[in-house]
Amino acid sequence: MNLRLLAAVLALVVPLGACDGGGGGSPAAATTKLGFLVKQPEEPWFQLEWAFADKAQAELGFTLVKIGVPDGEKTLSAIDNLAAQGAAGFVICTPDVRLGPAIAAKARSHKMKLIAVDDRFLGADGQPMQDVHYLGISARAIGEDVGRALAAEAQRRGWKNEELGVCVVTYDELDTARERTDGARAALRAAGVPDARVFLAPEKAPEIPAALDATNALLSQHADVKQWLVCGMNDNSVLGAVRALEGRGFDADHVIAIGINGTDCIEELRKAKPTGFYGSMLLSAREHGHRTISMLHAWCKDGVEPPLDTRTTGILITRSNFEQVLAEQGVTR
Ligand code: FCA
């Protein structure tokens, strides 16, 4: 609590102090204001992106405005609001990738710079907007890592590829989600798991309750399966599936589930009694929060344009190494 308070106080004080040193003019005139808009501010992943953006603010001396944008209306009014405050640009994880053209047009109308993070904008033609600067994960490769890790652990336990079931919690509306689960499926196939053992559970939203519902529907159809592998687009999708499996009596000995993010499963991995949630691909919230806003800052302040497309990697964390890796990566203290 005290640390949080200290962080809040620093966030207010540091930008003014920092720009006193570098700007030359009055502090208010020299400070660049930047926005960071995220679709699900309640998700630990996005809270960490913000926390790393806060660090960049403290180091570089700009003013950061963080806004949660759960829907299209809130997104467009948040951009107007930023413009009214004199912001020079913003980083955004949009609540809907099809808002891309509207967000880009609004940024242009206000002469604001823009970087999309995590979820890539789609144009009116349904294709990624390649002219909008983007930083996201190497979704296919990270999904493949999940598939390989699932297959390796199943093999270690002596599970038979022809008998186990794979529950793939899909969210195909989002390219980065589809690429992740497609990658996992491809790696499982390459490891010898027959396609006929792979079952899809489409979730309505990338959230625990939606994944739980989707998995329950799937499990009703496959009551004969005794050992399950689980993958999905992120930790919450996989956690929902693990909860559904627990509801039907499947414990850690009968489930191997691997998430993506690594930030939304910390409590799960800390549980004294292991659950079916075996591990996660830890993404770099530092790159997504600190690097995006730093690139935006350099672009707005010094005219240094960032690369159009930047991709980040992941690291597998399990119960045996997560505390150490999370601490090394600056996710936990
Ligand atoms: C998407 C997901 C998040 C996170 C991010 C990198 O936005 O919804 O949970 O995985 O990509």
User: Which distant-in-sequence residues (6+ apart) come within 8 Å of 152 by Cβ?
Assistant: 191
Asked whether the CA dihedral 17, 23, 26, 27 is positive or negative, the reply is: negative
Q: Whose CA is nearest to atom 7 of ligand 1?
A: 118
pLDDT, tens digit (0-9, with 9 covering 90-100), for 18-55? 333 333 344 445 699 999 999 999 999 999 999 999 99
Order the strands of the 198-202 sheet from edge to edge. 198-202, 165-170, 228-232, 255-261, 277-283, 314-318
Among 142, 183, 144, 150, which residue's Cα sits nearest to residue 166? 150
Residue 333 pLDDT class (50, 70, 90 cuts): confident
Q: In this model, does residue 123 exceed pLDDT 60?
A: yes
- pLDDT at position 17: 34
Position in ligand 1 atom list of the atom nearest CA 137 = 6
Residue whose Cα lies nearest atom 1 of ligand 1: it is 118
Q: How far is the CA of 173 from the centre of ligand 1 (A)?
A: 13
> Rounded to the nearest whole angstrom, what is the distance from the C-alpha of residue 297 to the centroid of ligand 1?
23
Q: What is the pLDDT of residue 25?
A: 40
Count of alpha carbons within 13 angstroms of residue 235, beta-carbon side: 22
CA of 257: how far to CAs of 105, 124, 148, 155, 206, in Å? 41, 36, 12, 14, 16
Q: Find the 119 Cα to ligand 1 centroid distance in Å.
A: 7
Atom of ligand 1 nearest to the CA of 119: 7
Kindly give the distance from the C-alpha atom of residue 234 to the centroid of ligand 1, in angstroms, as a whole number: 7
Residue carrying structure tokens 């053992």: 197
pLDDT digits 0-9 by tens, 303-330: 999 999 999 999 999 999 999 999 999 9
Task: Please report how many Cα atoms fall inside a 13 Å half-sphere around the Cα of residue 113, on the Cβ side.
Answer: 24
Terminal C-alpha separation, the chain: 14
Ligand 1: list residues with CB < 6 Å: 43, 45, 93, 118-119, 137, 176, 206, 234, 260-261, 283
Taking the C-alpha atoms of residue 32 and residue 49, their distance in angstroms, rounded to an integer, is: 20
Distance in angstroms (rounded) separating the CA atoms of residues 33 and 24: 17
Tell me, in angstroms, the distance from the centre of ligand 1 to residue 39's CA: 9
Report which protein residue has its CA nearest ligand 1's atom 6.
Answer: 118
Q: What are the pLDDT digits (tens) for 207-265?
A: 999 999 999 999 999 999 999 999 999 999 999 999 999 999 999 999 999 999 999 99
DSSP H/E element including 63: strand 63-68
The answer to whether residue 66 scores a pLDDT higher than 90 is yes
10 band by pLDDT with thresholds 50, 70 and 90:
very low
In this model, does residue 2 exceed pLDDT 60?
Answer: no
Given this model, what pLDDT does residue 30 score? 62
Mean of all residue pLDDT scores within the chain: 93
Which tokens in the block code for residue 260? 């993506």
Tell me, what's the pLDDT at 29?
54
Please report, to the nearest 10 degrees, the dihedral formed by the alpha carbons of residues 278, 281, 282, 283 taken in order: -160
> pLDDT for 162-184, tens place per residue?
999 999 999 999 999 999 999 99
